[in-house]
């Protein structure tokens, strides 16, 4: 429509302040083209017919010719049909296109506003405002149509729908605020698009998608903001376009995608890329590549795919705690198609994933942060400096089908990681690998290799050539762990071997999985679970605990040094490679703890003589528990020749043991309820620190207690001791008796004759009181007496009397009467009568009771 009101005014009075720039441009164009022919808009066809193709609206007529200038003044006009070839057009109103073609062959035209809703505009044009719903700009025939350049200094509005096209070679520059309205919409540029410095592009789509195709290049020097839950796409369909972000690309909602055709399309970020929490950014360029010299802040999801092109970065990356950055590059056989970080820092506090190719960090670049790094699908991560990350997942196997599987790697001088998930892939770290949190080691052989001479070898085995320090780790045992390095399980940590089955080569029978690094140190818990066997060929040092809990055996074929504990509970443990705690010359077990719990624990004692002296701690738990000498692959009872125990020997939960020689105990012997210890010779206890606790059966040709402490029950509990065989002599030492109640107290039963001596210590619990306690019975008769009787009863309240009989000994406790004096009471044996020197010992003992004797036996 025309605007007769604005057209009737002189330009100096009708121009709005914001139009003065456009008027100045129009005046300059008029002054510089003295030879031009001016065609002025008159609006003669009436206010309802402001169409270009009506000659009545023009003077001297319809504008035509390469020197023609269309002067519109402040009128609003519409080009609906026809083809106009002129030099330029100028005005401070709005030009609307609904059809037709306008070719501008001269210098830049200038209009206040344009609404492109059809038709075609070609040539150079400066606009203050643009609304674009349909139509095209630029040459349709690059050889004959004029070169086109459109500059919009103010607001641009892009409506929904398609049919928006910019021809080959044309350039569009938006310098103000551009709003791409919601709804399905597309723009196709065979030319170039630029967002000028200070500009703002607001791309909002929720109910559909926005598609921008740019074949001639796209440069953002302003701020591009993507909002809405829908998807916006920038595609580069032809060879050679450049997409460059020099300003800020901010993806706040939904998804923003950049796509490149399989040619030389490339994308460069020299500005700032921001992906907000919940939003997504995808870059998928086949050949042209990606380069980054700016800053990227990833709090949402970003995926950069350049599988057939390069990835170069010297800028900064910040992956927030909610962010995910996935980098997908070429295969491992072509490092040039990988990701190259030549400088800058990639700080990852979220998830950083490398897929497919090699990611290389030069010495001037670094990867840091508390987040998780994933190396998958054949990818490799090569870091020139020491690498420290919050978590690492290496599971990089690829099975392409056309050849044998291959896998990637993580390579660095050293590695510190909070959590390690190590699947199929190589850890090429010559220095220390420190895992401060949990570690999971898994992944199978992938294939088998054979040279025809020896056994099959797994195609993939975990290799450690440095030092791997673990806190809490699990290993599935699907393939071997080998290498020239060392594994260390920290104090208080745990290593869980979960091998579910033996390895099954293509040829031959199954074999144990091998833990075959140079050295293994366990200062925590080494727990063997699962039904598969494990062979430890490493030099093994154990200060912690080794425990079998599953059905698979644990076999040490390398040298073993174990000051700590070996505990065979769920499956057998065999030590075949030499034991540092075994002195073959003395036939002595010098240290360590060896527990067989309803299982067999085998030691190679380098001969068939068995253990003559035990200075270690040995526990047999259960009736099927055995400690054997497996020298030569034949099991023999290891304790059958035991003669001296100055360590700890404990038979628990029904365990039994027999020795073919006399046994002298200078350490600790415990025979728990249901358990038995038998010696064909004499059992002798000597030494002040010796202890024998019997809640089961102790049988020998004779028993002598010449020092230390012995008693019924286990340490700290009451029980019944059965001493079978020959006579029992208590020449020295102490018989310890616990009395916890009227029917709950220690009882010693001796099948033969007993000769008393030494001392007796009676410890009473709070529930114990007055009564008679038969604590010792000797079927073969009882002679002698204790030189001293000690108790923790309060002497101001109770009297303790020892009554000796022909075959028994009773302790009688009675409460003092009111007529008796308070204080220590003489404890006089009933029969036989002690000698005077015995009275002196008893009085000394009673003096010590003034401060109550502790109940503990020791």
Q: What is the pLDDT of residues 86-126, one digit of tens each?
A: 999 999 999 999 999 999 999 889 999 999 999 999 999 99
Q: How far apart are CA 169 and CA 539, in angstroms?
A: 73
For residue 17, the SS3 value is: helix
> Per-residue confidence at 288, pLDDT binned at 50, 70, 90?
confident
- The pLDDT value given to residue 742: 85
Q: How far apart are CA 631 and CA 363, in angstroms?
A: 55
> Per-residue confidence at 840, pLDDT binned at 50, 70, 90?
very low
Q: Report the alpha-carbon angle 24-25-29, nearest 5.
A: 115
| Contact (CB, 8 A) for 274 and 323 | no
Q: Which of 305, 301, 304 is nearest to 319 (CA)?
A: 301
Q: Which helix (H) or strand (E) holds 21?
A: helix 20-31
Work out the average pLDDT over 451-480. Answer: 92
- The pLDDT value given to residue 505: 86
Q: Are strands 387-395 and 365-368 parallel, antiparallel or unpaired?
A: unpaired
Q: How far apart are CA 740 and CA 52, in angstroms?
A: 118
- Any idea which of 502-511, 639-648, 805-814 has the lowest mean pLDDT? 502-511
- The pLDDT value given to residue 239: 59
Q: How far apart are CA 480 and CA 511, in angstroms?
A: 11
Q: How far apart are CA 542 and CA 521, in angstroms?
A: 6
Contacts of 28 (CB under 8 A, 6+ apart): none
Work out the average pLDDT over 542-565. Answer: 97
Strand pairing partners for 671? Answer: 651, 694
16: left (phi over 0), alpha (psi -120 to 50) or beta: beta
- The pLDDT value given to residue 279: 98
Through-space distance between the first and last CA atoms of the chain, rounded to whole angstroms: 113
| Neighbour tally for 303: CB within 10 Å | 17
Residue 224 pLDDT more than 80? yes
- The pLDDT value given to residue 262: 59
Q: How far apart are CA 661 and CA 678, in angstroms?
A: 10
| Contact (CB, 8 A) for 652 and 675 | yes
Q: Which helix (H) or strand (E) holds 41?
A: strand 37-41
Look at the block and give the residue holding tokens 């998928």.
284
Strand pairing partners for 849? Answer: none
Q: Are strands 600-603 and 573-575 parallel, antiparallel or unpaired?
A: parallel
| Contact (CB, 8 A) for 218 and 192 | yes
Residue 831 pLDDT more than 60? no
Q: Report the alpha-carbon angle 219-221-224, nearest 5.
A: 85
Q: How far apart are CA 99 and CA 119, in angstroms?
A: 4
Residue 648 pLDDT more than 80? yes
- The pLDDT value given to residue 141: 87
- The pLDDT value given to residue 668: 98
- The pLDDT value given to residue 619: 98
| Neighbour tally for 139: CB within 10 Å | 23
Residue 14 pLDDT more than 60? no
- The pLDDT value given to residue 335: 65
Q: Which of 427, 488, 499, 485 is nearest to 460 (CA)?
A: 427
- Any idea which of 28-37, 485-494, 814-823 has the lowest mean pLDDT? 28-37
- The pLDDT value given to residue 450: 83
Q: Report the alpha-carbon angle 100-104-105, nearest 5.
A: 140
> Per-residue confidence at 13, pLDDT binned at 50, 70, 90?
very low
> Per-residue confidence at 143, pLDDT binned at 50, 70, 90?
confident
Can you read off the two tokens belonging to residue 277?
């929490």
441: left (phi over 0), alpha (psi -120 to 50) or beta: beta
- Any idea which of 325-339, 392-406, 655-669, 708-722 has the lowest mean pLDDT? 325-339
Q: Which percentage of the chain shows pLDDT scores above 70?
A: 90
Q: How many residues does the chain have?
A: 858
Secondary structure letter of residue 143 according to DSSP: T
> Per-residue confidence at 735, pLDDT binned at 50, 70, 90?
very high
Following CA atoms 78, 84, 85, 89 in sequence, which dihedral angle do they give, to the nearest 10 degrees? -20
Q: How far apart are CA 292 and CA 280, in angstroms?
A: 18
Peptide bond into 787 cis (omega under 30): no
Q: Report the alpha-carbon angle 250-252-258, nearest 5.
A: 60
Strand pairing partners for 466? Answer: none
Q: What is the pLDDT of residues 483-496, one digit of tens each?
A: 999 999 999 999 99
State the average pLDDT for the chain: 90
Q: How far apart are CA 23 and CA 9, in angstroms?
A: 14
- The pLDDT value given to residue 240: 63
Work out the average pLDDT over 9-14. Answer: 34
- The pLDDT value given to residue 716: 67
Residue 847 pLDDT more than 60? no
Q: Are strands 656-659 and 636-637 parallel, antiparallel or unpaired?
A: unpaired
Peptide bond into 154 cis (omega under 30): no
| Neighbour tally for 419: CB within 10 Å | 18
Residue 845 pLDDT more than 50? no
Q: How far apart are CA 237 and CA 245, in angstroms?
A: 18
Can you read off the two tokens belonging to residue 216?
């001639």
Q: Are strands 636-637 and 626-629 parallel, antiparallel or unpaired?
A: antiparallel
Q: What is the pLDDT of residues 445-457, one digit of tens each?
A: 999 988 777 788 9
Q: Which of 273, 285, 352, 281 is nearest to 319 (CA)?
A: 352
- The pLDDT value given to residue 490: 97
Q: How far apart are CA 613 and CA 503, in angstroms?
A: 39
> Per-residue confidence at 152, pLDDT binned at 50, 70, 90?
very high
Q: How far apart are CA 602 and CA 598, in angstroms?
A: 13
Look at the block and give the residue holding tokens 């095209």.
136
More confident residue, 123 or 24: 123
Work out the average pLDDT over 756-767. Answer: 92
- The pLDDT value given to residue 330: 82
For residue 74, the SS3 value is: coil
Distances (CA, A) of 317 to 292, 294, 347, 362, 707: 9, 9, 6, 15, 75
Can you read off the two tokens belonging to residue 189?
């540029």
Q: Which of 190, 171, 173 is nearest to 240 (CA)?
A: 190
Look at the block and give the residue holding tokens 């020239």.
484
- The pLDDT value given to residue 253: 98
pTM of the model: 0.83
Q: Which of 709, 631, 715, 629 is nearest to 667 (CA)?
A: 709
Can you read off the two tokens belonging to residue 156?
């641009």
For residue 82, the SS3 value is: coil
Strand pairing partners for 319? Answer: 298, 348
E strands along 569-681, which residues? Answer: 573-575, 582-583, 588-589, 593-597, 600-603, 613-614, 617-621, 626-629, 636-637, 644-645, 648-652, 656-659, 663-665, 668-671, 676-679
Contacts of 582 (CB under 8 A, 6+ apart): 588, 589, 590, 603, 605, 606
Q: Report the alpha-carbon angle 331-334-340, nearest 5.
A: 90
More confident residue, 794 or 855: 794
| Contact (CB, 8 A) for 808 and 783 | no
> Per-residue confidence at 558, pLDDT binned at 50, 70, 90?
very high
Residues 846, 847, 848, 851, CA torsion sign: positive
> Per-residue confidence at 715, pLDDT binned at 50, 70, 90?
low
Residue 762 pLDDT more than 70? yes
Q: How far apart are CA 37 and CA 40, in angstroms?
A: 10
Work out the average pLDDT over 673-682. Answer: 96
Work out the average pLDDT over 373-391. Answer: 96
For residue 559, the SS3 value is: coil
Q: What is the pLDDT of residues 587-625, one digit of tens each?
A: 999 999 999 999 999 999 999 999 999 999 999 999 999
Q: How far apart are CA 388 and CA 385, in angstroms?
A: 10
Q: Which helix (H) or strand (E) holds 838?
A: helix 836-848
Helix, strand, coil shares, percent, the chain, to 5: 5, 50, 45
| Neighbour tally for 766: CB within 10 Å | 8
Q: How far apart are CA 447 and CA 401, in angstroms?
A: 13
> Per-residue confidence at 334, pLDDT binned at 50, 70, 90?
low
């Amino acid at each position: 429509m025309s605007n007769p009101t604005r057209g009737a005014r002189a330009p100096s009075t009708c121009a709005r302040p914001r139009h003065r720039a456009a008027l100045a441009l129009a005046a300059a164009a008029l002054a510089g083209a003295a030879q031009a022919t001016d065609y002025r808009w008159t609006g003669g066809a009436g206010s309802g017919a402001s169409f270009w193709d009506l000659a009545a609206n023009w003077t001297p007529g319809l504008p035509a010719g390469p020197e023609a200038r269309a002067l519109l003044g402040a009128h609003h006009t519409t080009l609906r049909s026809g083809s106009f070839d002129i030099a330029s057009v100028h005005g401070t109103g709005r030009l609307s296109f609904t059809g037709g073609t306008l070719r501008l062959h001269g210098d830049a035209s200038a209009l206040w506003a344009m609404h492109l809703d059809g038709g075609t505009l070609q040539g150079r044009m400066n606009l203050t405002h643009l609304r674009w719903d349909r139509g095209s700009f630029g040459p349709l025939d690059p050889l004959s149509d004029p070169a086109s350049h459109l500059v919009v200094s103010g607001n641009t509005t892009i409506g929904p729908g398609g049919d928006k096209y910019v021809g080959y070679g044309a350039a569009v520059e938006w310098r103000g605020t551009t709003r791409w309205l919601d709804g399905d919409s597309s723009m196709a540029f065979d030319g170039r698009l630029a967002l000028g410095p200070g500009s703002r592009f607001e791309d909002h789509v929720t109910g559909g998608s926005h598609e921008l195709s740019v074949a001639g290049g796209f440069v953002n020097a302003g701020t591009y903001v993507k909002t809405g839950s829908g998807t916006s796409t920038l595609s580069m369909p032809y060879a050679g376009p450049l997409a460059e972000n020099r300003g800020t690309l901010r993806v706040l909602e939904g998804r923003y995608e950049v796509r490149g055709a399989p040619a030389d399309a490339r994308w460069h970020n020299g500005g700032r890329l921001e992906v907000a929490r919940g939003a997504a950014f995808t870059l998928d360029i086949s050949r042209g590549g990606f380069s980054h010299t700016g800053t990227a802040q990833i709090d949402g999801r970003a995926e950069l795919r350049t599988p057939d092109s390069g990835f170069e970065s010297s800028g900064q990356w910040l992956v927030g705690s909610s962010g995910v950055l996935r980098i997908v590059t070429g295969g491992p056989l072509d490092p040039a198609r990988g990701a190259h970080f030549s400088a800058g820092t990639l700080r990852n506090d979220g998830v950083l994933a490398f897929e497919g190719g090699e990611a290389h960090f030069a010495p001037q670049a670094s990867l840091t942060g508390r987040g998780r790094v994933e190396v998958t699908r054949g990818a490799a991560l090569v870091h020139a400096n020491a690498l420290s990350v919050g978590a690492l997942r290496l599971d990089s196997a690829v099975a392409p089908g056309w050849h044998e599987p291959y896998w990637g790697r993580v390579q660095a001088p050293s590695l510190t990681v909070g959590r390690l998930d190590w699947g199929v892939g190589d850890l090429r770290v010559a220095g220390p690998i420190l895992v401060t949190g949990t570690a999971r080691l898994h992944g199978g052989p992938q294939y088998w290799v054979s040279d025809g001479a020896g056994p099959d070898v797994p195609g993939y085995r975990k290799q450690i050539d440095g030092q791997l320090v673990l806190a809490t780790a699990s290993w599935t045992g699907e393939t071997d762990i080998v290498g020239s390095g060392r594994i260390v399980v920290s104090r208080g940590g745990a290593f869980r071997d979960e091998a579910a089955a033996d390895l099954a080569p293509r040829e031959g029978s199954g074999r144990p999985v091998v833990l075959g690094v140079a050295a293994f140190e366990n200062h925590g818990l080494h727990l063997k679970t699962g039904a598969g066997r494990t062979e430890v060929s490493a030099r093994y040092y154990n200060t912690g605990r080794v425990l079998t809990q599953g059905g698979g055996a644990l076999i040490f074929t390398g040298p073993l040094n174990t000051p700590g504990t070996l505990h065979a509970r769920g499956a057998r443990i065999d030590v075949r490679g030499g034991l540092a705690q075994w002195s073959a010359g003395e036939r002595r077990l010098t240290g360590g703890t060896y527990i067989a719990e309803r299982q067999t624990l085998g030691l190679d004692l380098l001969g068939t003589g068995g253990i003559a002296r035990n200075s270690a701690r040995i526990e047999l738990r259960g009736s099927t528990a055995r400690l054997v000498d497996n020298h030569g692959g034949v099991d023999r009872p290891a304790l059958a020749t035991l003669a001296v125990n100055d360590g700890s020997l404990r038979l628990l939960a029904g365990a039994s043991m027999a020795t073919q020689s006399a046994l002298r105990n200078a350490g600790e012997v415990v025979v728990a309820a249901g358990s038995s210890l038998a010696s064909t010779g004499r059992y002798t206890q000597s030494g002040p620190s010796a202890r024998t606790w019997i809640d089961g059966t102790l049988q020998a040709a004779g028993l002598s207690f010449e020092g230390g402490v012995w008693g019924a029950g286990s340490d700290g509990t009451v029980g019944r001791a059965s001493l079978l065989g020959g006579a029992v002599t208590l020449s020295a030492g102490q018989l310890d008796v616990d009395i916890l109640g009227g029917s709950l107290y220690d009882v010693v039963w001796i099948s033969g004759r007993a000769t008393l001596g030494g001392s007796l210590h009676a410890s009473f619990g709070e529930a114990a009181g007055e009564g008679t306690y038969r604590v010792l019975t000797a079927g073969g008769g009882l002679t002698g007496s204790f030189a001293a009787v000690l108790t923790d009863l309060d002497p101001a309240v109770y009297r303790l009397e020892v009554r000796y009989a022909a075959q028994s000994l009773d302790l009688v406790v009675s409460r003092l009467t009111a007529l008796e004096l308070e204080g220590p009471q003489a404890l006089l044996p009933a029969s036989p009568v002690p000698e005077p020197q015995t009275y002196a010992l008893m009085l000394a003992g009673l003096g010590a009771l003034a401060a109550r004797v502790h109940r503990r036996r020791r």
